[in-house]
Amino acid sequence: MNMESLTTTAATQELQDEIALRCQLSPQTTAQIGPFGFVELEESWGDETTILNTARISTSNRRIQRVADMTQRDHDLLYHLLKHNHGTPFETVYCRWRVIAPIFVLRQWMRHRMGTFNEFSQRYRMPITACYQPDLAARSVDGWPVLTDDQIRRQDALLEQLHRFYQEEYAVACQRMEEAEQQGLIQTSDGEGGRNRYRGRARELLRNIMPVATYSDIYWTVNFRSLMNFLMLRRKPDAQYEIRLYADAVWQLFQQRLPLLSQVMERVLREGAQPS
């Protein structure tokens, strides 16, 4: 979508500015996907020693304080635990991700229910005036484009029309509210938090026309066991193109944060893919 052809909402401008700032401040923990997509590994809790200390709770009082102190025996145990599906120790390592993606990608993402999600709400804020536009790679199968450039242009125009409809009708609704309040017909604030209930209801109704190509913004908090499942499924060659791009970005950032655990995971998956 041509962003300049729309009135950029405050929410959209805030996100554009924040993406640029985060990429500048934290290039090792951020990744951009296309013109508006974004992933950041904001925080993580626990590491390989956390997993081993948890696994040994019933067999030993030995505790490892640093990854650098791990012996070969410790490395072998980490591999053994993951190889043989001793899953709960891997649930003690957590990551929190910031993800900005099209709604249709996030709907697939949220099928991975072993995690928590907090999403940008169009009930409280106007929609992000950015929509996913597939590039040539995204709309091609075996090198042949299933949608033409002209079809993409028509789709782009339709998405722009929907966003423009929202903004125009929301402006009309707000004007009516102001006039009604001046006439004493309504009181727009209930005094609890200062929110305008009438504007909120208008946003709730108008968001119904927003397409799933519209971008949204989430926080995703997930343990390593569930993250591994997400990566296994969404990085497969037959996974949907768009979510695969995000999963690849998640994997690259995770590798930098926990390289040893990433290596063990790769080894286990590689061995699991070999014919018996």
Does the pLDDT of residue 56 top 80, yes or no?
Answer: yes
Read off the pTM.
Answer: 0.92
Q: For residues 98 and 171, what is the distance between their CA atoms, to the nearest angstrom?
A: 31
As given in the structure block, the two tokens for residue 113 are: 């229910």
pLDDT per residue over 106-137, tens digit each?
Answer: 999 999 988 999 999 999 989 999 999 999 99
Does the pLDDT of residue 190 top 70, yes or no?
Answer: no
pLDDT tier for residue 4 given thresholds of 50, 70 and 90: very low
In a domain, 133, yes or no: yes
Q: For residues 251 and 255, what is the distance between their CA atoms, to the nearest angstrom?
A: 6
Q: What angle do CA 26, 29, 30 make, to 5 degrees?
A: 80
Residue with tokens 């995690």: 115
Bridge partners of 145, per DSSP, are: 140
In a domain, 154, yes or no: no
Bridge partners of 40, per DSSP, are: 30, 98
For the segment 1-24, the average pLDDT, to the nearest whole number, is 78
As given in the structure block, the two tokens for residue 54 are: 């948890």
Domain count, the chain: 1
Phi/psi at 93 (5° precision): -105, 125
Does the pLDDT of residue 5 top 50, yes or no?
Answer: no
- Please give the residue that has the higher pLDDT: either 113 or 52: 52
As given in the structure block, the two tokens for residue 255 are: 């590798």
In a domain, 98, yes or no: yes
In 3D space, the residue among 141, 152, 138 whose CA is nearest the CA of residue 244 turns out to be 138
Range of the domain at 219: 3-46+93-146+213-273
3-class state of residue 69 by DSSP: helix
In a domain, 234, yes or no: yes
For the segment 5-18, the average pLDDT, to the nearest whole number, is 79
H/E stretch holding 31 reads: strand 30-33
Does the pLDDT of residue 273 top 90, yes or no?
Answer: no
In a domain, 226, yes or no: yes
Output the domain CATH number for residue 13.
Answer: 3.30.1360.170
Which residues, 6+ apart, have CB-to-CB distance to 23 below 8 Å? Answer: 30, 32, 38
pLDDT per residue over 209-241, tens digit each?
Answer: 999 999 999 999 999 999 999 999 999 999 999
